[in-house]
Amino acid sequence: MPVIELQPVTNFKKPVSSMFSFEVIAKSTESRARAGVIQTSHGAVETPIFMPVGTLGTVKSVSPEELIEIGAQIILGNTYHLYLRPGCDIISRFEGLHRFMHWNKPILTDSGGFQVFSLAKLTKISDDGVTFQSHIDGSKHLLSPEKVMDIQACLGTDIMMCLDQCIRYPATREQCRAALKMTTHWARRCRQSWRKSPNGHNALFGIVQGGMFADLRRQSAEELTDIDFSGYAIGGLSVGEPIEVMLEMADFTLPKLPAVKPRYIMGVGTPENLIELVALGADMFDCVLPTRNARNGQMFTESGTINISNSRYKDDTDPPDAECRCYTCRNYSRAYLRHLYLARELLAYRLNTIHNIYFFINFIKRMRKAILADEFENFRKEFYRRLEK
């Protein structure tokens, strides 16, 4: 099967204004927690921030209006998925993902590096990039650093990510070192392609790799900082390692990244993870946890998770979380949500998702408020106190 080349993006139009900036506006005096503001051409993002995952150009089951009501300020799209389906030739007809999916706030797109290694088949890596077979139809593709930049430019995303080489956990030191070397090589090419491209507006983030080896993480952070990106992500965490190791790696790596740039921990995590990582100085997060678990009937509350299919809720007239002000908790009972879920009604997935995204976004919003008031440590203590009740 021939390698399919990306169609030239003939009718892609640059946004009228392109911009990206980040400012730290408050720092905790008791931890490394900080609050900031990112400016993009689609509006501001207040950090720390949780970004709902909208892999295929939709945050599963919810509408853009609902996301805005929930308080979402930025969402994720996925380069690998959108490149394969519906493809850039189609999205470019809408001048990018924003208009295609009816979302006019910022979008960050993952580079596809993670999906190529986790979903695609027959993946082969070379200096030129990654060749792989689509998980949908087996078609063969090459994602080079330059092509990943082109695709994200076509998507018109506000924050683009470099192509990186992800590795499984556990991995040997030699595997991690090789992947790190490739990641830096690709990062440099992404940076060059991004800057010289007419689509080189908006932001490009580098992704730190290095497995669970502190010295490799440092090397990756230093090499990427030398290249100079708009912001920095830490990839390859939450891939199966113990939580202590994940936090140790984040604790070690975050201070190695420029303090004046946003710092993004990819694919993490639970509320407990988020509060610890904010304490360590992380600014941005994304995770499928609230959305995927919602579709499996798990709902997050201040005092832990509940599984809505549990028979104890069958005649429970209370909302999922009595203190929550989301649309779901304001209008529906556990008994009704359980009924919908057991009957596999489509509304179940949506109502659960609305609640969970609201919980994550509101949880981190309250952390931000605590940082601004320099009361983050109190907030953290209170969080654990309630969780243990």
Catalytic residues, by residue number, are 110, 286
State the minimum distance, in angstroms, from the CB of residue 259 to its own copies.
39
- Distance (Å, rounded) from C-alpha 312 to C-alpha 315? 8
Q: Are 154 and 88 in contact (CB under 8 A)?
A: yes
Residue number with CB closer to its own copies (131 or 352): 352
Residue number with CB closer to its own copies (261 or 338): 338
Strand, coil or helix: 129: strand
Residue number with CB closer to its own copies (65 or 382): 65
Relative to beta strand 203-208, strand 75-78 is: unpaired
State the minimum distance, in angstroms, from the CB of residue 66 to its own copies.
9
Considering Cα of 96, then 98, then 104, then 105, what sign does the dihedral take? negative
Half-sphere exposure of 227 (CA within 13 A, CB side): 28
Residue number with CB closer to its own copies (239 or 337): 337
Residue number with CB closer to its own copies (196 or 330): 330
Alpha-carbon separation of residue 89 from 5, 79, 142, 255, 278 (angstroms): 11, 13, 16, 41, 39
Alpha-carbon separation of residue 7 from 97, 116, 144, 172, 304 (angstroms): 16, 20, 14, 38, 47
| Backbone region of residue 134 per phi and psi (left: phi > 0; alpha: psi in -120 to 50; beta: other values) | beta
Where along the sequence are the contacts to its own copies (CB under 8 A)? 56-58, 60-63, 85-86, 89-90, 93-94, 100-102, 314-315, 317, 331-333, 335-336, 338-340, 342-343, 345-347, 349-350
Q: Are 165 and 113 in contact (CB under 8 A)?
A: yes
Q: Which of 300, 305, 301, 313 shows the shortest CA–CA distance to 342?
A: 313
State the minimum distance, in angstroms, from the CB of residue 336 to its own copies.
6
In sequence order, what E strands does the chain have? 20-27, 34-40, 43-47, 49-51, 75-78, 107-110, 121-126, 129-133, 140-143, 159-161, 203-208, 231-234, 263-265, 284-286, 298-301, 304-307
Residue number with CB closer to its own copies (119 or 342): 342
Q: Which amino acid is at 296?
A: N
State the minimum distance, in angstroms, from the CB of residue 87 to its own copies.
9
Query: Rg of the chain's alpha carbons, rounded to an integer?
Result: 21
Residue number with CB closer to its own copies (111 or 353): 353
Alpha helices in 156-288 (DSSP H): 173-196, 214-227, 243-253, 271-279
Q: Which amino acid is at 309?
A: S
State the minimum distance, in angstroms, from the CB of residue 356 to its own copies.
14
